């Protein structure tokens, strides 16, 4: 399903799903549009063609894209549909645009019904396979990267594909001394669960699935929210709810971690990270692990969310895993409050040539503002800028020598806060330009001449710094006010506006959900868009996350990079010559930095894993490859432990980029 559509915070109460082995009572439905779906479908087409920034043209070209994208989301790995199914769908190649104008989503339901039939066939075939004895002594292999592989020509070819797929899943589930029977039962329960979840699918789910394959073509951040999803999403914005503090999205058959709430239970655990994939969920210490591959996102959320103080166990494929090997982590649910997400300051010291330098570090997890409190006239309402001002005042009284603004994994938030925060470091002037779909360009400016901090400043960013973070970082770079350090940012330079469909359509007591619509783009004051390209740091660190997979530019439908006129503004300084020297000294340090070289090794390992197309189905070879990876990971832990011991028993956890940022600030202070 469209990825950004189904992001839901995991913060409510949990429900328990049980298992059984009798499938005779499970009845699958045939899906068809409901009355309101026709009207909504036509409305979505109208909105995309008239109000979206891109203004889609409803023609045969769009119809062809729509068909391709829907098939891709139904069967991304080409493991369900036969080639004959795809050939049958060709009748829709040039008609989906006409259906959209007429408000007829029937084609989407027809194709989904075929998908469900094929999936049911595969589940039953899997049960038959697991009832027999599978052997793992041959040199067969399984390709788990099948996006570019053709669809199976026949049932015989499909059966062979699934035989290898299930053998792979059995091998991947076999740990310790488990015998074949117990491992086969684990896999059997997985597919029984999938069968059971399939029976819970509703017409609204199919409609949402179909519509969001269309909205994604407009751009990745335009979404249709069904009434239930809209309600859950809006409820998740409350700060009084409970859970692990994470957001999820569907990624093919997986449920993937999108972001972690800073200070939330998942973040505090230091065991789960962005882009980890959840494949199993269990309640408490001893609850049965429920496999959630191919599950509906709301059902996964139902298992993970729960009351404060309760334990949930997650079986995950780590984001940096090269072999899909899983691990289990434990998280105690807690209340997610604004205070956990607020900016926080600290002082880090660095000794150079027997002199101690004090560096203030401000971590900003999001650009937040309590709009409700502000509108009530509460003088003490919380906001990013207000909190950062207090922190800078406090740090200044402690005579810090330099300041670091840490925006790593800050996904954005309030545009106004990004503008006002920028104003703390410049006298006055433009911060960002916003271009609307009409072509009108509106600048956002800082008009307060007060400068709260005018000494050396560094800003840290990474691949997941986005939107408002990119606006602030770009402004600091354009003004020559700060040194930017880290990875190229995400590249999300678009503005969305929610549209309540209920305000346009009335049909009795029916609810119609919402559309989140992209209506504008951000541009730097130097003229270039932050969209697609993101912001390039002055001193770059390589990252383990592939730009193709983890950036705006990795989505084929993202809005392009472009430029508009540069604005008039007065630079604080021209740092170009200083940056060259700072980079030279940085490169010298990195040559002998163990952590940096570990990072390069990790990146090489990840790249090799991405290029790997097949996994062996020979049990001995499979175990041998896993053992090599385990020993490599164990060696790395030992290397880091020894490096830490050299620094002293009380040394802090290694933060390579922050440590190097302090070094760079010292160079800047000393005029190097």
Residues with catalytic roles: 467, 478, 492
* CB 359, CB 665: distance < 8 Å: yes
* CB 420, CB 453: distance < 8 Å: no
Whole-angstrom Cα distance, residue 402 to residue 386? 20
Whole-angstrom Cα distance, residue 135 to residue 423? 67
> What's the start-to-end Cα distance of the chain, in Å?
52
Question: Between the CA of residue 615 and those of 137, 273, 650, what are the distances in Å?
Answer: 14, 25, 43
* CB 280, CB 190: distance < 8 Å: no
- The DSSP secondary structure of 386-417, one letter per residue, reads HHHHHHHHHHHHTT-SEEEEE-TT---B-HHH
> Which residues, other chains included, contact 340 with Cβ-Cβ below 8 Å and sequence gap of 6+?
245, 261, 262, 263, 264
Question: Rg of the Cα trace of the chain?
Answer: 26
Residues 88-121, buried b or exposed e (16+ Cβ, 10 A)?
ebeebeeebbebbeebbbebbbbbbbbbbebbbb
Residue 111: its H or E element = helix 106-131
Unique residue bearing structure tokens 């310790």: 176
Maximum distance among all Cα pairs of the chain, rounded to whole angstroms: 77
- Strands 311-317 and 290-291, by their bridges, are unpaired
Whole-angstrom Cα distance, residue 630 to residue 334? 33
Whole-angstrom Cα distance, residue 545 to residue 553? 13
């Amino acid at each position: 399903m469209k990825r950004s559509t189904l992001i839901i915070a995991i913060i409510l109460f949990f429900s328990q799903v049980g298992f059984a082995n009798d499938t005779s009572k499970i009845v699958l439905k045939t899906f068809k549009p409901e009355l309101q779906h026709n009207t909504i479908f036509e409305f979505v087409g109208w909105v995309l063609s008239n109000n979206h920034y891109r203004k889609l043209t409803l023609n045969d070209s769009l119809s062809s894209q729509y068909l391709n994208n829907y098939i891709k989301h139904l069967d991304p790995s080409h493991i369900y549909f036969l080639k004959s199914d795809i050939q049958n769908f060709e009748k829709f190649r040039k008609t989906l645009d006409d259906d959209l104008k007429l408000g007829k989503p029937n084609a989407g339901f027809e194709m989904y019904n075929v998908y469900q039939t094929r999936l049911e066939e595969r589940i039953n075939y899997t049960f038959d396979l697991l009832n027999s004895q599978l052997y793992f002594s041959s040199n067969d292999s399984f390709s788990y990267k099948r996006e570019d592989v053709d669809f199976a020509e026949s049932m015989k070819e499909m059966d062979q594909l699934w035989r290898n797929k299930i053998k792979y899943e059995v091998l991947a589930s076999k740990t310790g001394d488990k015998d074949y029977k117990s491992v086969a039962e684990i896999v059997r329960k997985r597919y029984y669960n999938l069968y059971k979840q399939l029976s819970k699918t509703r017409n609204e789910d199919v409609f949402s699935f179909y519509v969001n394959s269309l909205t994604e073509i407009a751009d990745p951040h335009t979404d249709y929210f069904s009434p239930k999803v809209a309600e859950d999403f809006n409820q998740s914005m409350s700060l009084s709810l409970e859970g692990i503090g994470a957001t999820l999205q569907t990624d093919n058959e997986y449920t993937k971690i999108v972001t972690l709430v800073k200070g939330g239970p998942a973040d505090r655990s230091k065991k789960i990270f962005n882009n980890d994939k959840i494949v199993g969920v269990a309640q408490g210490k001893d609850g049965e692990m429920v496999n959630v591959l191919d599950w509906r996102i709301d059902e996964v959320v139902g298992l993970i969310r729960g009351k404060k103080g309760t334990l949930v166990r997650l079986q995950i494929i780590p984001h940096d895993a090269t072999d899909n090997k899983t691990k289990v982590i434990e998280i105690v649910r807690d209340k997610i409050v604004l205070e956990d997400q607020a900016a926080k300051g600290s002082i880090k010291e660095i000794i150079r040539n027997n002199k101690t330098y004090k560096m203030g570090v401000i971590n900003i997890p999001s650009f937040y503002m309590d709009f409700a409190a502000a509108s009530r006239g509460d003088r003490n309402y919380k906001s990013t800028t207000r909190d950062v001002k207090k922190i800078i005042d406090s740090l200044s009284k402690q005579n810090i020598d330099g300041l670091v603004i840490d925006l790593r994994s800050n996904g954005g938030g309030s545009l106004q806060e990004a503008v006002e925060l920028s104003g703390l470091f410049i006298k006055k002037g433009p911060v960002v330009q916003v271009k609307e779909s009409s072509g009108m360009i509106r600048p956002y400016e800082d008009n307060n001449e007060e400068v709260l901090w005018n000494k050396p400043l560094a800003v840290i960013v990474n691949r997941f710094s986005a939107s408002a973070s990119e606006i602030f970082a770009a402004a600091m770079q354009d003004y020559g006010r700060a040194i930017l350090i880290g990875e190229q940012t995400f590249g999300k330079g678009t503005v969305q506006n929610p549209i309540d469909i209920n305000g346009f359509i009335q049909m009795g007591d029916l609810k119609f959900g919402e559309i989140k619509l992209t209506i504008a783009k951000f541009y730097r004051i130097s003229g270039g868009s932050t969209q697609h390209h993101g912001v390039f740091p002055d001193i770059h660190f390589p990252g383990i996350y592939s730009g193709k997979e983890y950036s705006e530019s990795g989505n084929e439908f993202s809005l392009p990079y472009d430029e508009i006129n540069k604005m008039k503004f007065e630079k604080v300084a021209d740092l170009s010559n200083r940056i060259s020297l700072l980079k030279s000294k940085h490169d010298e340090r990195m040559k002998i930095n163990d952590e940096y070289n570990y990072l390069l090794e990790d990146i090489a390992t990840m790249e090799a894993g991405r290029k790997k197309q097949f996994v062996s189905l020979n049990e001995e070879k499979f175990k041998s490859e896993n053992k090599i990876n385990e020993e490599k990971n164990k060696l790395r832990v030992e290397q880091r432990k020894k490096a830490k011991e050299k620094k002293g028993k009380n040394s802090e956890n290694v933060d390579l980029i922050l440590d190097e940022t302090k070094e760079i600030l010292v160079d800047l202070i000393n005029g190097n």
